[in-house]
Amino acid sequence: QKEVEQNSGPLSVPEGAIASLNCTYSDRGSQSFFWYRQYSGKSPELIMSIYSNGDKEDGRFTAQLNKASQYVSLLIRDSQPSDSATYLCAATLGGYQKVTFGTGTKLQVIP
């Protein structure tokens, strides 16, 4: 079983719609969760961090964490073509400083 699991996609949404990206993790003791955006040929860029159950909003992005279900999601409102990228979910597993990444979900926003 993968430690951080994401659907590889591609997830296609029309411009202006809400994109919903999902992630599950295996370690109940995980404390910290992150979403990164990676454009093709570029390095990952941190979008959001979330540490407690519930929602955290930053502009058009909302991260949601449900520790009971071991589930993290990222909502992107009013999706733009510039949001087209691969989104990586990450969590601290098995050690405070070690972060494990999922393989990413490719998002395509269709104009």
Partner 1 sequence: DVKVTQSSRYLVKRTGEKVFLECVQDMDHENMFWYRQDPGLGLRLIYFSYDVKMKEKGDIPEGYSVSREKKERFSLILESASTNQTSMYLCASSSDSNEQFFGPGTRLTVL
- Examine residue 46 and tell whether it contacts partner 1 (CB under 8 A): yes
H/E stretch holding 38 reads strand 33-38
- Examine residue 17 and tell whether it contacts partner 1 (CB under 8 A): no
Residue in 17, 27, 99, 106 binding partner 1, rule: CB under 8 A: 99
**Least distance (Å) between residue 37 CB and partner 1:** 11
CA Rg value for the chain: 13
Residue in 12, 80, 103, 110 binding partner 1, rule: CB under 8 A: 103
* Cα–Cα distance for residue pair 94/85, rounded to 1 Å: 28
Burial of 25 (0-12, 13-18, 19+ CB in 10 A): buried
- Examine residue 92 and tell whether it contacts partner 1 (CB under 8 A): yes
CB-nearer residue toward partner 1: 17 or 22: 22
